[in-house]
C-alpha cells in the first residue's frame, strides 16, 4: 500500500514513522501546503488534485485539522483511495455517517486491548477514567487548535479521546452523557471536563480529562460480570475469574504501526465505525 500523508505536522511525522515499521506499507509522498515545512526524505506532492489523479496512490492519511477532514475524505474515496483519519476522526456522529465506509482511524490504543474483551464487551459494569495531559493553554491552544470550528474541542477531543475510545470499545454504545464540570481556555476549547457516561448495556463510566493538572496520568478501570480491566499508562491487567492476563505498555509508535499493518489488509479494529461510540461521547461534551 502506497500512502500519501496529507499534512506534515507532528501527527503527519508520527504517521511516517509508523509506516516505516509497517510491512507492505510505504510513504508515496507528502502533501504539505506550508512551504516552510520540510518533507524530506519524502517526495513533496504537487497538489491535492495530483494526489487524487495519481493511479500509483493507494491511500491517503488525513493529518489535517478535524474541521476539514470530511471534505478531503469524500474526495479521496470518490477517487478510489482508501482513507485513514487522524484522531479525532470527525466533528460529529452526523458527519461520521457521511464518511466513506472503508475508512480507518488512528486510535492506536485499541491495539492494547485483549481480543477477548473486544469480542465480548462488558455488561452492567462500572468504570472510572482519569486522563491528565498537562498543556500550557497560552502556547498550545493557538492557531487552529484554539478554534473549535476547526479543532472540535480541546483536551478531551485530542488526547482524552484515546482512553475514552478504549472505554467505549469495552462498554459499548453510549446512551447519555452528563457533563458535571467544564472549564475552557477559549470558546469550545476545554481544558478540564468531568462527567458521567451511561451505556446502553447498563454500564456507567465516571470520567475526568484535564490539561490544567501539572502531572501526567492515564488510568481506566472497568469491573463487571466477573471480569475486570485496568489500563494504567498503557500497561494492561485483565482478570477473568481466577485467570489474570498482564501486558506491559507498548510504545505508541509500535501501536501506530499495527494500525497501518491492519489498514493495509482492510480496517477491522482500526475501523471508523468503531469510533461511533466515542464520537457520540464527544457530541455529548459539546452539547453540555
Residue-level pLDDT at 8: 97
pLDDT at 102 over 90: no
| CATH 3.40.50.720 location in the chain | 2-106
Task: Average the pLDDT over 161-165 and give the result.
Answer: 98
Residue-level pLDDT at 167: 98
Q: Residue 1 in contact with residue 59, Cβ under 8 Å?
A: yes
pLDDT tens per residue across span 54-81: 999 999 999 999 998 999 999 999 999 9
CA distance 57 to 82: 9
- Cis check for the bond before 88: say yes or no (omega within 30 of 0): yes
Q: Residue 158 in contact with residue 66, Cβ under 8 Å?
A: no
Task: Average the pLDDT over 99-112 and give the result.
Answer: 93
Pick the closest to residue 144 from 163, 157, 162 (CA basis): 157
Task: Average the pLDDT over 250-268 and give the result.
Answer: 97
Q: Residue 29: how many CA atoms within 13 Å on its side-chain side?
A: 14
| CATH 3.30.360.10 location in the chain | 109-286
* Global confidence as pTM: 0.96
To the nearest whole number, what is the mean pLDDT of the chain? Answer: 96
Decide yes or no: CATH 3.30.360.10 for domain 109-286.
yes
Task: Average the pLDDT over 129-135 and give the result.
Answer: 98
Q: How confident is the model at residue 155 (pLDDT cuts 50, 70, 90)?
A: very high
pLDDT at 101 over 80: no
Sign of CA dihedral 276, 223, 178, 153: negative
Q: Residue 220 in contact with residue 208, Cβ under 8 Å?
A: no
Distances (CA, A) of 232 to 18, 23, 95: 23, 29, 32
Q: What are phi and psi of 34, to 5 degrees?
A: -80, 110
Q: How confident is the model at residue 236 (pLDDT cuts 50, 70, 90)?
A: very high
2-106 CATH, one of 3.40.50.2000, 3.40.50.720, 3.40.190.290, 2.40.40.20: 3.40.50.720
CA distance 65 to 148: 10
Contacts of 238 (CB under 8 A, 6+ apart): 114, 116, 117, 227, 228, 229, 230, 244, 245, 246
CA distance 122 to 115: 13
Distances (CA, A) of 239 to 109, 221, 224, 272: 19, 11, 10, 28
Three state DSSP letters for 68-136: HHHHHHHHHHHCCCEEEECCCCCCCHHHHCCCCCCEEECCHHHHHCCHHHHHCCCCCCEEEEEEECCCC
pLDDT at 100 over 90: no
CA distance 217 to 196: 19
Buried/exposed code over 33-67 (b: 16+ C-beta within 10 A; e: otherwise): eeeeeebeebeebeebeebbebeebbbbbbbbbbb
pLDDT at 246 over 80: yes
Q: How confident is the model at residue 198 (pLDDT cuts 50, 70, 90)?
A: very high
- Compute how many other C-beta atoms are within 10 angstroms of the C-beta atom of residue 228: 17
Cell for 157? 477531543
CA distance 178 to 235: 28
Number of H helices, E strands in the chain: 11, 13
* pLDDT > 70 in the chain, percent: 100
Q: Residue 107 in contact with residue 127, Cβ under 8 Å?
A: no
Q: How confident is the model at residue 184 (pLDDT cuts 50, 70, 90)?
A: very high
Amino acid at each position: 500500500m502506497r500512502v500519501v500523508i496529507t499534512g506534515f505536522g507532528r501527527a503527519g511525522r508520527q504517521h511516517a514513522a509508523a509506516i516505516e515499521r509497517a510491512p507492505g506499507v510505504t510513504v508515496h509522498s507528502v502533501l504539505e501546503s506550508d512551504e516552510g515545512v520540510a518533507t524530506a526524505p519524502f517526495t513533496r506532492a504537487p497538489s491535492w488534485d495530483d494526489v487524487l489523479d495519481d493511479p500509483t496512490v493507494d491511500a491517503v492519511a488525513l493529518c489535517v485539522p478535524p474541521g476539514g477532514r470530511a471534505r478531503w475524505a469524500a474526495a479521496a474515496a470518490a477517487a478510489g483511495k482508501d482513507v485513514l483519519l487522524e484522531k479525532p476522526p470527525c466533528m460529529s456522529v452526523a458527519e461520521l455517517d457521511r464518511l466513506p465506509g472503508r475508512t480507518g482511524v488512528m486510535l492506536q490504543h485499541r491495539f492494547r486491548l485483549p481480543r477477548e474483551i473486544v469480542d465480548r464487551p462488558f455488561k452492567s459494569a462500572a468504570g472510572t477514567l482519569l486522563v491528565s495531559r498537562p498543556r500550557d493553554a497560552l502556547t498550545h491552544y493557538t492557531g487552529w487548535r484554539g478554534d473549535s470550528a476547526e479543532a472540535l474541542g480541546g483536551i478531551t477531543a485530542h488526547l482524552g479521546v484515546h482512553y475514552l475510545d478504549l472505554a467505549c470499545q469495552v462498554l459499548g454504545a453510549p446512551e447519555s452523557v452528563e457533563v458535571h464540570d467544564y472549564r475552557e481556555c477559549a470558546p469550545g476549547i476545554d481544558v478540564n471536563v468531568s462527567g458521567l457516561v451511561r451505556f446502553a448495556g447498563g454500564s456507567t463510566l465516571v470520567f475526568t480529562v484535564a490539561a490544567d493538572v501539572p502531572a501526567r496520568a492515564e488510568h481506566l478501570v472497568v469491573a463487571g460480570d466477573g471480569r475486570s480491566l485496568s489500563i494504567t499508562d498503557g500497561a494492561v491487567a485483565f482478570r477473568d475469574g481466577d485467570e489474570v492476563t498482564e501486558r506491559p505498555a507498548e510504545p505508541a509508535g509500535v501501536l501506530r504501526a499495527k494500525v497501518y499493518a491492519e489498514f493495509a489488509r482492510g480496517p477491522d479494529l482500526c475501523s471508523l465505525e468503531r469510533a461511533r461510540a466515542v464520537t457520540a461521547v464527544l457530541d455529548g461534551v459539546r452539547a453540555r
